[in-house]
Amino acid sequence: MIFNRIASRIEDGTLSRRSFLATSAAVGGGLMLSLSLPLGPSKAAQSGGFGPNAFIHIGGDGNVVLTMPYVEMGQGTYTSIPMLIAEELQVSLKQVRLEHAPPNEKLYANPLLGVQATGNSNAMRGAWKPLREAGATARIMLIAAAAKRWDVDANTCRAQDGEVIHTPTGRRLKYGELAAEAAKMPAPGSVTLKSPEDFRLIGTPAKRLDAPAKVNGTALYGIDARPAGVKIATLAQSPVFGGRVKSRRRSYGGREEGPGRAEDRMGGRSARQARNRRHRARARAGNAQVWRGGSEYR
Say if 270 falls within a structural domain.
yes
Say if 280 falls within a structural domain.
yes
Cα–Cα dist 281/277, whole Å: 6
User: For 7-54, how does the pLDDT look when each residue is reduced to its tens digit (9 = 90+)?
Assistant: 333 333 333 433 333 344 444 568 888 777 765 433 333 333 334 667
Say if residue 172 is in the same domain as residue 243: no
With a pLDDT cut of 70, the percent of the chain lying above it is 67
Q: Are 269 and 223 in contact (CB under 8 A)?
A: no
Cα–Cα dist 95/75, whole Å: 21
Say if residue 194 is in the same domain as residue 234: no
SS3 (DSSP) at 122: coil
DSSP 200-251: SSTTS----TTHHHHHHT----GGG---TT--EEEEEE-SSTT-EEEEEEE-
Work out the mean pLDDT of the chain and round it to a whole number.
74
In sequence order, the 6+-apart residues with CB closer than 8 A to the CB of 102 are: 108
Say if 190 falls within a structural domain.
yes
Q: Are 76 and 44 in contact (CB under 8 A)?
A: no
Q: How many folded domains does the chain comprise?
A: 2
| pTM, rounded to two decimals | 0.68
Say if 297 falls within a structural domain.
no
Nearest alpha carbon to residue 134 among 287, 262, 24, 14? 24
Residue that terminates a domain, selected from 216, 238, 263: 216
Say if residue 234 is in the same domain as residue 210: no
Residue 171 has pLDDT above 60, yes or no: yes
CATH code (residue 101): 3.30.365.10
What domain range includes position 92? 2-216
Q: Which long-range contacts (CB under 8 A, 24 or more apart) does 190-199 make?
A: 190/17, 191/133, 191/136, 191/137, 191/140, 192/136, 193/88, 193/129, 193/132, 193/133, 193/136, 194/87, 194/88, 194/132, 199/87
User: For 251-271, how does the pLDDT look when each residue is reduced to its tens digit (9 = 90+)?
Assistant: 544 444 444 443 444 455 555
Residue that terminates a domain, selected from 216, 234, 257: 216
Residue range 93-106: average pLDDT? 86
User: Lowest mean pLDDT: which of 63-67, 83-87, 202-206?
Assistant: 63-67
Cα–Cα dist 185/17, whole Å: 17
Say if residue 177 is in the same domain as residue 38: yes
Q: According to the model, what pLDDT value does residue 4 have?
A: 37
Say if residue 54 is in the same domain as residue 150: yes
